[in-house]
Structure 1
Amino acid sequence: LAPILLVVVCSHPSHVHNRLTIRNTWAFNFSKQISVVFLIGKVKDDSWNSVIRRESLIHKDIVKVDVIETYRNLTVKMMAGFKAILTQFQFVKYILKTDDDTFINLPYLLRELNTNINFVPADQVVGALCIKSRVIRDPRDVWFVPYSIYSNSTYPPYVHGGAYLLQYSTLNKLLSYSISPYLQLEDVYITGILSRDSGIIPVSHRAFSF
């Protein structure tokens, strides 16, 4: 039975304990209908890169991209990871993006995907919806965005980056509308700006809460 859902967990090379915890808890031997992979960039400290190589050989669940791990590079990392995933995992119907500090209720999610045909329609991205979020212009703030990158005072509707769910075909469509320069706020850029430009609708669902 081929997996219908791929869970993409965004992780940092140093978060070994987080990944181990996920493997031993909510992702542990749950269902052959679900595959879980960890998306990881690279760091300048080569000792961590060696750790990841060993971890990948043991668990075979690492997708590594050639992007330096920094907060400002998060969107670059996710875009590179999603492009790799679309090539490597063409058999899945749904993709859930999440982080390595988030708990996912896989039994509920799989039940909804198998029984509710309207749970994740095509051309929608489902999650915790954020509306009329203001752009931060203070250069001292971690979420600072200059006018040269994004000139509007508010962001388009988007879903929180802690977890969002969409169809494989929807992600493929989103990436085809990729524009440069990337906004460093991954959830705003991918589920907000690219959704707006491609006609995909960010949708709120009670199952997603942060």
Structure 2
Amino acid sequence: MKLTRRWLVLGTLLSTAFVGLLVLLVGQFVDFQTPSVDLKPFVSTEPAGETSSLPLRKFEWQARTPHPLDLKYPYPYPFLINHPDKCESPGGAPFLLMLVMTRPQDVAVRQAIRETWGNETLVPGVIIRCLFVLGLPPPLFAKELHTLLEEEDREHGDLLQVGFLDTYHNLTLKVLMGLEWMAQYCPTAHYVLKVDADVFLNPSFLVWQVLQPNGPPRPDFITGYIYRNSGPLRNPAYKWYMPPEVYLPDKYPPYCAGPGYVLSGPLALRVLAVAQTLKVIYLEDVFVGLCLQQLGVKPTPSPPQVFQMFPLQYEHCAFHRLALVHKFQPQELLQIWPDFQRVNMTCPTA
């Protein structure tokens, strides 16, 4: 089976990758002391529309300055695996476009999502489209994973690979390129969901209780778990370290937490436009908050506690009253999903 073959190949990769992973970990440890890496744009000799077959060797790695957390944007990062017709449908524009942030090696994670909350047919009567956004793998695994990704995309047709190295510090680029794809190929989507792969998502609750398809248009709408009055962490030991030379103020504007937030299509286009004019920072949720501040838009509070940023123990009725729960692994999703889908249970009204 194709899935078994993928697992065998991935198992071989993981079993032989110890030295490479050490190199990557050391690279993360010294990331703030050394220049970052990025991709030069390239001049393609391939015919237009055939970028999905471009070999990765056409990219050259280069060190860059002045700061490892200073991202290059706007920048002509190419779509290497693309589905420009993903949003074309006889039923009209998608009500919800889900952009799921994953790493190239997350084959099993993506499959678990497809079998659970990423199923585009879960909400009857509403058009949903789902794309998995990913960058390039570390050079150590590039050839093997490139082959696996091409096979995975032939089978499912839902990958969007962009031409920059897939790292935590490039997450803002991943989100912005997802919005660039939306602007180019799906500009009439009513709502756009940016969501991480390590969550439980309840699409029905999100659509009917949060987004409300039968309600009036909300062009300036964005919601999720809202952080207010938070500020940058100045200690380099922290994962979310923010040096003053990258972001000087001592407060962040209000912003929706990165594991999952949803915004109206018109606002997504405006955020993308203003992002071209601002200094990009690597904390993507904070950066979206900065874009909102520039636009004079404030996040809209969601129904209370429906976006959960901390792990919760699964309970059927409780989870049916939630939109999103952070920190769910693929095996947990697959384990709870059959029970979550049961319709013959009576839950007390809230």
| Rounded Cα–Cα distance in structure 2 between residues aligned with 1:84 and 1:27 | 19
Aligned residue among 307, 311, 333 for 1:208: 307
| Rounded Cα–Cα distance in structure 1 between residues aligned with 2:115 and 2:159 | 16
- Pairing 1:131–2:228 present: yes
5 Å matches for 1:41-52? 41-43=135-137, 44=139, 45-46=141-142, 47-52=144-149
Higher strand share: 1
5 Å matches for 1:1-210? 1-2=91-92, 3-28=94-119, 29-31=121-123, 33-43=127-137, 44=139, 45-46=141-142, 47-112=144-209, 113-115=211-213, 117=215, 121-178=218-275, 179-190=277-288, 192-205=289-302, 206=304, 207-210=306-309
1:60, distance to aligned residue in structure 2 (A): 0.7
Asked if 2 retains the 8 angstrom alpha-carbon contact of 1:159 and 1:204, the reply is no
Asked if 1 retains the 8 angstrom alpha-carbon contact of 2:99 and 2:178, the reply is no
CA RMSD after TM alignment: 1.7
Secondary structure of the structure 2 residue equivalent to 1:177: helix
The code of the aligned residue for 1:42 comes to L
The code of the aligned residue for 2:215 comes to I
1:23, distance to aligned residue in structure 2 (A): 0.5
1:114, distance to aligned residue in structure 2 (A): 4.2
Secondary structure of the structure 1 residue equivalent to 2:174: helix
Ranges of 4+ aligned residues in structure 1 off by more than 4 Å: none
Cα deviation, 1:169-204, whole Å, max 9, x if unaligned, reads: 1010011111453111010001x1010001221122
Secondary structure of the structure 2 residue equivalent to 1:203: coil
Q: Which has the higher contact order (CA 8 A, sep 6+)?
A: 1
The code of the aligned residue for 2:129 comes to S
Mark the runs of 5 or more structure 2 residues left unpaired by the alignment: 1-90, 310-350
1:42, distance to aligned residue in structure 2 (A): 0.8
| Rounded Cα–Cα distance in structure 1 between residues aligned with 2:262 and 2:294 | 18
1:104, distance to aligned residue in structure 2 (A): 1.3
User: TM-score, structure 1 length as denominator?
Assistant: 0.92
| Rounded Cα–Cα distance in structure 2 between residues aligned with 1:92 and 1:59 | 21
Mark the runs of 5 or more structure 1 residues left unpaired by the alignment: none
Instruction: Compare 49-58 and 4-13 and name the one that shifted more.
Output: 49-58
Asked if 2 retains the 8 angstrom alpha-carbon contact of 1:130 and 1:159, the reply is yes
1:124, distance to aligned residue in structure 2 (A): 2.6
Residue identity (%): 28
Secondary structure of the structure 2 residue equivalent to 1:56: helix
User: TM-score, structure 2 length as denominator?
Assistant: 0.56
Cα deviation, 1:17-75, whole Å, max 9, x if unaligned, reads: 11101101122332461111111111122122222221111111111111211111111
Max Rg structure: 2
Asked if 1 retains the 8 angstrom alpha-carbon contact of 2:188 and 2:265, the reply is no
The code of the aligned residue for 1:199 comes to G
| Rounded Cα–Cα distance in structure 2 between residues aligned with 1:150 and 1:110 | 35
| Rounded Cα–Cα distance in structure 2 between residues aligned with 1:115 and 1:145 | 39
Secondary structure of the structure 2 residue equivalent to 1:146: coil
